[in-house]
Structure formats: structure tokens, C-alpha cells
Amino acid sequence: MTATRDAGARPAPPPGARRGRRSPATPMERVLRWVLRGVVTLVLGFLVAPIVIVVLESFNSVDYLSFPLEGWSLTHYRRFFADSAWVDASLLSAKIALLAALIATVVGTIAAWGLARSRARAKGFVFALLYSPLLIPIIVLAMSYYFTFADLKVIGHWQLISVAYSVMGIPYVLVAVSNALQQFDPELENAARTLGAGMTRTLLRITLPSLTSAISAGALFAFVIAFDEAVIILFVSGSGSVTLPRKLWDSVRYDLTPTLAVAGTILIAVCVGLFLLSELIKILRERRERR
């Protein structure tokens, strides 16, 4: 019996060996790691450098674009906020983006919930149809909106521009909420229905609170898309709905000053701030679920 146990036993680890400790890297592996780190650093620097230059240029003290900077000043920020054209364009962009994000959030959430609970054979086609705005080139969408708005004689109406942008935001909300619903336990809804809650009450009290993080993330993406998109607005804005991206484009064509960098810095700050807000909401949500 002892011989049988000894024969089936695993060989003892060599002296000094520790469980879970990785073997030391070879010289070739070390070289490859440093090469990979260098390549990643170069790629990140290539992507981030233009953004940093734009932000720095907004503090230039001269009235023309130049780099390196010739001095530091807040003059162009004061000019930006003192110019009603820039301020009105920024406020209009925010208003259009808010309405577009609201429409996209409502439609995308309802669509995701309906597709997740549906057993119809065509739900794959419906999902692909709602996701298709991300696959169509933006210039094709812009031309389609232009011809449609021109036929209806509604070019320049900011409410319809918001609807156009909401079509681009729906896929982001749809994907975010659909992924969250895959992790959601439908038995919670069945339990609530069994205890007497109706479909509407179950949706408002059980389902939606569990999808808060996903809905918020999709809404923020929809807002960012509508806030800084420039191609569609060039086709459908006309002369009555000049948003911040449209104002930026016009200024690039006719007036190259550091005020452009100020507007670009504001766009960057809004986008980065919203993404950070999305991550903060996600972290707070995870901490609340752990409790």
C-alpha cells in the first residue's frame, strides 16, 4: 500500500522553489518588453501630442497661431467668452446635444429591453438596423439628411438636427444597455411579477435601477457625438443653427487666431470630462453593488 501511494504521488518540488513564482525572464524577453513599451509610448505620444499642442496654443500671447509659444496669456479666453457668436454657438451645441442624448437614451433603452425580451426571429435584423448608423460613412449620412431636410424645407431647425444626431447616438445606448441586460438576471423580474408588481412597476423599480450605469454611459456617448460632430452640421445647419463645430470650421477658413485653440480646448475638456464622469458613475455603481 505504501509503495502504491509513493508511486502515484507527485514528485516533490526542488528546494527553494515557491508556488506561484514566475521563472526569471530571458534576455530576449526583456528586450521584447522594452521594445513593446517603447512602441506603445511612441503611439500614445503621437496621438496625444496634437491635443496637447492645441491646449497650449490657447494660452498663446500673440494674435496668430505659432508654436512654440511666444508667451502665456488668457487674452483669447477673454475674447472667446466676450464674443456672443462663440458663446451662442457653444450654447446651441449643448442644447442640440442634450436633446439628441435624451432621444437616443429613451429609444435605445426601450429597443435594447424589447430585443432582450423578444423571441422573434427578426430581432437580429432589427438590432443590425439600429446599429447601422455606425457602419454608414458619415458623409453619406450627411448627404441623406441634407436632401431630406431640403425637400421638407426644414434646414436650420435645431430640433430636427437633434433628431438627426440622436440616430447616431442610438447604437451606443443600444450596445451599452444590451450588454448590461445580458448580465441581468431575468428571475428578478419574474419574482417581482409573482409578488404582484405590474410590468411598468417592475421595469421602473427592478430593471432600470440595475441598468443605470449602462444607460448613463450610452447617454454620455450620445451627447459627445452630437456635441462635437462637424460633418452633418455643415450640411443641415444653414444660416440659423451655427453650432460650435460649425463656427470652428468657418473660423478655420477665414480667421486663423488662437481663439480657435480656445474653442478646441473647450471641446476637448467637455469630452474628457464626460468620459471621466462616466467612469466615476461606473465606480460608484460597483461600490454600491458590493455593499
Beta carbons within 8 Å of 171's beta carbon, 6+ residues apart:
108, 130, 131, 132, 133, 134
Asked whether residue 52 is assigned to any structural domain, the reply reads no
Q: Are 257 and 241 in contact (CB under 8 A)?
A: no
The CATH number of whichever domain residue 180 belongs to comes to 1.10.3720.10
| Residue 253, CB-side half-sphere exposure with 13 Å CA sphere | 6
Asked whether residue 16 is assigned to any structural domain, the reply reads no
Closest CA to 107 of 56, 156, 177: 177
Give SS3 for 276.
helix
Asked whether residue 43 is assigned to any structural domain, the reply reads no
For the chain, first and last CA: distance in Å? 52
Asked whether residue 40 is assigned to any structural domain, the reply reads no
Asked whether residue 10 is assigned to any structural domain, the reply reads no
60 has which bridge partners? 72
pLDDT at 2: 46
User: What pTM was estimated for this model as a whole?
Assistant: 0.76
pLDDT at 10: 53
Asked whether residue 23 is assigned to any structural domain, the reply reads no
pLDDT at 178: 85
Asked whether residue 76 is assigned to any structural domain, the reply reads no
Mean pLDDT by 10 residues, the chain (291 residues): 48 52 72 88 89 84 75 84 87 91 91 81 84 88 89 86 90 87 71 70 72 83 87 84 85 78 84 80 73 67
Show the domain range for 107. Answer: 84-290
In the chain, the number of structural domains is: 1
Asked whether residue 181 is assigned to any structural domain, the reply reads yes
